[in-house]
Amino acid sequence: MSLENLKKAIRDIPDFPKKGIIFKDITPLIGAGKLFREAIDLMAKPYLARPPAKVVCIDARGFIFGAALALKLGAGVIPVRKAGKLPHKTHRADFDLEYGSATVEIHEDGVLPGDRVLIVDDLLATGGTLRAAIDLVRRSGGEIIGVCVAIELDFLKGREKIEGTSIHSLIHY
Ligand code: AMP
């Protein structure tokens, strides 16, 4: 199994959800058991020796990768959700997206001060979403050991927005 096989299982959907955006559809990848396991194994690799206490994952496709990674690493799952979805007290962060803008929240007691945290999403585009997640984890007092994504759109230079945080991404465009 190779990264090329994983890349082949990511489908381009032009002009979704807006004209000019090429949406990277991961459903063929996660729908194939062997490919999904390979992706999770490769995403988890750098963190096996010293796993995080918590995996913070981002609404909604980040939950799929984040929960599987957390299980493999023996970590808890802490969701970052779109505004208004979490029932308890939250920290909030506003940010701009590749297509639109959004507000995300994390439960105040999800990440505890000093927790080693890995932040997971499906895709790094402009970096706004991960920047917001990093800010939320910092506000909670967590120690961020890294950011892990399945896909990175290199041409959008999202990494620059989250400079100083170590980033592990499997597939680049
Ligand atoms: P950004 O904040 O610009 O880095 O956008 C990252 C978030 O938006 C991730 O949660 C992705 O799921 C989603 N996203 C942004 N651009 C794309 C794209 N071209 N294809 C699929 N998902 C995307």
In order, the DSSP letters of the chain are --HHHHHHTPEEEET-SSTT-EEEE-HHHHTSHHHHHHHHHHHHGGGSSS--SEEEEETTHHHHHHHHHHHHHT-EEEEEEETT---S-EEEEEEEETTEEEEEEEETTTSPTT-EEEEEEEEESSSHHHHHHHHHHHHHT-EEEEEEEEEE-GGGTGGGGGTTS-EEEEEE-
Q: What digits encode the pLDDT tens for the residues 22-70?
A: 999 999 999 999 999 999 999 999 999 999 999 999 999 999 999 999 9
Ligand 1: centre distance to CA 129 (Å): 8
Per-residue model confidence (pLDDT) at position 84: 97
- Active-site residue, 61 included: yes
Please determine, for residue 108, whether its predicted confidence score (pLDDT) is greater than 90: yes
- Which atom of ligand 1 is least distant from the CA of 59? 10
Most ligand 1 atoms within 8 A of CB, residue of 123, 160, 163, 167 to mutate: 123
Quick one: pLDDT band at residue 101, thresholds 50, 70, 90?
confident
pTM score over 0.75: yes
Per-residue model confidence (pLDDT) at position 98: 64
Rounded to the nearest integer, the mean pLDDT of the chain is 96
